[in-house]
Structure 1
Amino acid sequence: MARARRNKSYKLTGIYDRRSREMPFNADVAEVEVDNPLALDPGEKIMAIRSVRSDPLGRLHSHHQIDEAQYRGGRAFQNDWERAERGPQAVDTTREYVDGTSTREPLTESQRQAVLRLNRVERELGTDGAALVHDVLVLGLTMDQIGERRAVRTQRWNDYFARRFRECLDRLALIYGFATEAGTKRAVRRK
């Protein structure tokens, strides 16, 4: 019996194509450009897909509602918050057991610097702005949920919270050094 001939060529061009073909029905994703981990040349970029379902800052950035400086300022705030947070910690089994009382770990220098930056952010944003930024960037709340927590449920309040959040992101970009005062004044004048 004769063997069937194959018409397919064995090109290896698509061997590193890792894009997902199927997404869950409730997926909320955005394309981002990231460094290629398999690149031979430094700085080579590839397109990747990231989930923005529980990431309000990523969703705003992917829909072009905030710019790169605001996005990076928000990420820097989140990074400082995670570094400074000292919540429940796992038991370290490598440490010597003494009497069952656990002593707190001493603060590291990076934690101390993060706390100092967060204190400056709170002074710059004020109490209301700091609470709004915390609700969105740390707790992941939407503007509707923020309005419900503050007992105001109209669209006008949601628009106010969104506008105020963008102002706070502008301030974060200035504090963390991702924008300059002249750049934000120009952006305000353009609108």
Structure 2
Amino acid sequence: MSTNLRNISIALSAAGLLALVACQSMEQGTGQKASASLESRSGSKAKGDVTFTWQGSDVLINGSFSGLKPNSEQGFHVHEKGDCSAPDATSAGGHFNPETKSHGMPNSGMNHAGDLPNIKSDANGNATYTAKLHGFAVNTGPSGILGRSVVVHRDPDDYKSQPAGNSGPRIACGLIK
């Protein structure tokens, strides 16, 4: 075998090995679940329940909410700390962002792991919620959401204002467990 062919063969073998290692290191789940019960904050009446189910490289999020502003959108995010003790939920810290990305549109690849689609309420201030996202895991690892909090904001997330989408006060907060 010529030197050039041997170098090409070695390079292809190395590339294949790197691809295999990269695939094996990607976190995937097989049905692990977590949930959060959100309690009112900042003088609101908002509350809700959310479940997170890990499905391969995605997480399915389902929720139900009440006490929201009727016919409106509210920002919704996973926050870095599992602490909802402050009356305004600031104890939850900023958006969960293990890869130190800018705030942005969920699932765009250019967003915080904790950036979720807005909640849309009906005429009675109730909402059901479903989203399938990637970029985080249902575990306690570096990209895991267990032990963190999930927060509903008063206003819609605009998905562009830094660092948090200009979504206003935190009106409900719950620990993900």
Same fold (TM over 0.5): no
TM-score range, shorter chain: under 0.3
> Rg: which structure is higher?
1
Flag the structure with higher strand content: 2
**Higher RCO (C-alpha 8 Å, min separation 6):** 2
